[in-house]
Structure 1
């Protein structure tokens, strides 16, 4: 739930800043990019926080090799994508990369739900959140 809160709070805060005259945040797409960046900074850093890292490693499907390295890689990609969203000329590429990353990481959510590990969210909730995050990234492209 925290990533969704970060997305919404970042979007609303950046939107307000845009309305108050911050030129770089003018328009809903710029505000949405900030919200997504905040969300991916939160989730990216979580990959390296010891308790959360252990949960994320447990989420990786058992058939995948070196879950610890996969968690490190996905965390770094999320952080890079967050920064990329904030740079206008890289934002579209970052959004596309993050969409692909969300799709690629979805099996870990399914695996975690089936095995009851990590946050233990049911698959329906996990799927809905992934769809919201993907939709937000897609909307930055239109």
Structure 2
């Protein structure tokens, strides 16, 4: 839930700031990129937080090698993608790369839901909700790229 709240709140705050006179933020796409950047900074950072890391490693499908390395790599890519979204010349490429990363990480979400793996002590999110969130995030990343 925190990623959706972060995405929504930061996007709306950026848009409001643009509406109030900050001309660079006076576009939905720019505000969306900022909101996505905040969300990916949050989700990328938790890959390294002690409270979340162990559970995230457990989310990796059992047939994939080096789950800890995969969690580290995806965390780094999310943070790098967040930075890329904030630079106008790299934002479209970063947004597409993040959409592809979300698609690549979806099997971990399926694995976590099917194996009922909690995250930081909270119950596992059901697969239907995870799927809807992933589709939403991918669609918004694509919109941010256009």
- TM (norm. structure 1) is 0.98
* Higher alpha-carbon deviation: 114-123 or 79-88: 114-123
Deviations 1:88-138 (A, max 9, x none): 000001001000000000000000011111331110000000011111111
Is contact 2:93–2:145 with CA below 8 Å preserved after alignment?
no
| Alignment correspondent of 2:9 | 9
Whole-angstrom CA distance in 2 between matches of 1:54 and 1:14: 33
Q: How many residues align?
A: 142
Q: Runs in 1 of length 4+ with deviation above 6 angstroms? A: none
**Which consecutive unaligned segments of at least 5 residues does structure 2 have?**
none
| Alignment correspondent of 2:135 | 131
Whole-angstrom CA distance in 2 between matches of 1:118 and 1:106: 16
3-state SS of the aligned residue for 2:145? coil
Whole-angstrom CA distance in 1 between matches of 2:53 and 2:72: 9
TM-aligned CA deviation for residue 140 of structure 1: 1.1
Is contact 1:55–1:117 with CA below 8 Å preserved after alignment?
yes
| Alignment correspondent of 1:20 | 20
| Alignment correspondent of 2:102 | 102
TM-aligned CA deviation for residue 45 of structure 1: 0.4
- TM (norm. structure 2) is 0.95
**Which consecutive unaligned segments of at least 5 residues does structure 1 have?**
none
